[in-house]
């Protein structure tokens, strides 16, 4: 199981190979303001334990450009303690629909994504973020069985998510309904339809819904 800062250097090819199927721990600070949901960890994240760690991934540059973080965080060698502390302090959480590290997201099965939808609903009910942003429209559609979903703020959680919450009982349905849900672009460098600027705009909208502070761009 990969943990933050488990690799104090950029991973070698051997490290990446060894990271296949590694399970990466969620980042779930308290209080949890914005919960970002990736598709699944890549091998670089599996090797370092740091989310969105692969060089060329635009997640952390977009956070900085959006003023969500007060610095450009570099996690390519794992989380530096002060950077991890900053992410926790601002209430930024990160999880994935599937926790298993793969070289490519298309190596996941649809069943894994659907199971991830159920885990996400449980995470939201337990940790109660102020807003949720799922990064990747195709994976979102598969996970929740909502083929007509579009990027941006969702009018409501998909029917499958509401059914899952109903099965949890208690206040689960009310918690889910009260949590703003966004689908934002995937920050992978393979996503040619997004830039750091467009990612920052989408992420900032979700951060505003979560009541997060805006820092000056570094």
All domains of the chain, ordered by start, with CATH? 13-209 (3.40.470.10)
Question: DSSP class of residue 15?
Answer: H
Dist. CA 185–CA 125, nearest whole Å: 24
* pLDDT of res. 120: 98
As beta bridge partners, residue 96 has 38
Cα maximum dimension of the chain: 47
Categorize the per-residue pLDDT at 1 as very low, low, confident or very high, splitting at 50, 70 and 90: low
pTM for the full predicted model:
0.93
Q: Where are the alpha helices (DSSP H) in 27-109?
A: 43-48, 59-65, 81-89
Query: Can you give the pLDDT at residue 152?
Result: 97
Query: What's the pLDDT at 7?
Result: 45
Q: Is the pLDDT of residue 214 over 90?
A: yes
Mean per-residue pLDDT, 17-32: 95
Mutual angle of helices 110-127 and 137-144, in 10-degree steps: 90
Contact 39, 134 (CB under 8 A): no
Look-up of token digits 């009541």: 211
Q: What is the average pLDDT across 61-72? A: 97
Residue 56, sorted as left (phi over 0), alpha (psi -120 to 50) or beta, turns out to be: left
Question: What is the reported pLDDT for 2?
Answer: 52
Which pLDDT score is estimated for 8? 57
Helix, strand or coil, per DSSP, at residue 155: coil
Residue pair 44/54 in contact (Cβ under 8 Å)? The answer is: yes
Checking if the pLDDT of 172 tops 80, the result is yes
- Does pLDDT of 109 surpass 50? yes
Work out the angle at residue 20's Cα, subtended by the Cα atoms of residues 34 and 98, and round it to the nearest 5 degrees: 35
Asked if pLDDT for residue 128 goes beyond 80, the answer is yes
1 neighbors 14 (Cβ within 8 angstroms): no
Q: Which two tokens stand for residue 50?
A: 């740091």
pLDDT of residue 117: 97
In contact, 33 and 92? CB cutoff 8 Å: yes
Q: Residue 6: is its pLDDT beyond 70?
A: no
């Amino acid at each position: 199981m990969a943990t933050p800062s488990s690799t104090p250097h950029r991973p070698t090819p051997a490290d990446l190979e060894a990271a296949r199927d590694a399970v990466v721990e969620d980042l779930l600070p308290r209080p949890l303001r914005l919960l970002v949901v990736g598709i699944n960890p890549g091998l670089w994240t599996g090797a370092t334990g740091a989310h969105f760690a692969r060089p060329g991934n635009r997640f952390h540059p977009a956070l900085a450009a959006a003023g969500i973080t007060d610095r450009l965080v570099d996690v390519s060698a794992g989380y530096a303690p002060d950077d991890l502390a900053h992410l926790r302090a601002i209430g930024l959480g990160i999880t994935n629909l599937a926790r298993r590290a793969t070289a490519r997201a298309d190596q996941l099965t649809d069943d894994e994504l659907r199971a991830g939808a159920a885990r996400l609903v449980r995470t939201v009910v337990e940790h109660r973020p102020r807003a949720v942003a799922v990064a990747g429209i195709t994976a979102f559609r598969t996970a929740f069985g909502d083929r007509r979903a579009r990027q941006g703020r969702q009018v409501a959680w998909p029917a499958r998510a509401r059914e899952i919450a109903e099965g949890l009982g208690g206040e689960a349905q009310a918690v889910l309904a009260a949590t703003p849900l966004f689908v934002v672009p995937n920050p992978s460098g393979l996503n040619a339809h997004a830039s750091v600027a467009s990612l920052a705009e989408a992420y900032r909208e979700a951060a505003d819904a979560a009541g997060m502070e805006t820092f000056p761009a570094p």
